[in-house]
Amino acid sequence: MKSQKGIAYENSKRKAMTMLKRRKMYEDQLNNITNQQFNVDQMQFSSETIQNTIDTVVWTMKLCIGRSAEGGSGRSEGADEEGGPGQAGGPA
């Protein structure tokens, strides 16, 4: 039969192991949430990059169409006023 000290030691050991398992579980959950946040941030950045690319292509197409309508020679007179992507007058 085990002594009181032995029983107390086993109980303490079991509680400590349970706490360590819980700690590991919480650390894993935190790691998962951190990774998910990183993925969300990456998706947002990608979305912004795609939108900027779309704006640039649209602006370039408008500029090319304007030049071809004028006969395709040199710069169009309104090119400076139109502005580029992200500039005043151009797509935002």
How many domains, the chain? Answer: 1
Q: Is residue 89 part of a domain?
A: no
Q: Is residue 63 part of a domain?
A: yes
CA dihedral 66, 71, 73, 75 (to 10 degrees): -20
pLDDT at 22: 98
Q: Is residue 11 part of a domain?
A: yes
pTM over 0.95: no
Q: Is residue 92 part of a domain?
A: no
Q: Is residue 62 part of a domain?
A: yes
Q: Is residue 88 part of a domain?
A: no
What are the tens digits of pLDDT across the range 2-34?
Answer: 788 889 999 999 999 999 999 999 999 999 999
59, pLDDT greater than 80: yes
Q: Which residues form the domain of 73? A: 4-82
Average predicted confidence (pLDDT) for the chain:
85
DSSP-derived 3-state class of residue 90: coil
Range 69-88 average pLDDT: 58
Angle among Cα 11, 16, 20 to the nearest 5 degrees reads 150
85 CB-near residues (< 8 Å, 6+ apart)? 52, 55, 56, 59, 91, 92
Q: How far apart are CA 79 and CA 66, in angstroms?
A: 9
Q: Is residue 18 part of a domain?
A: yes
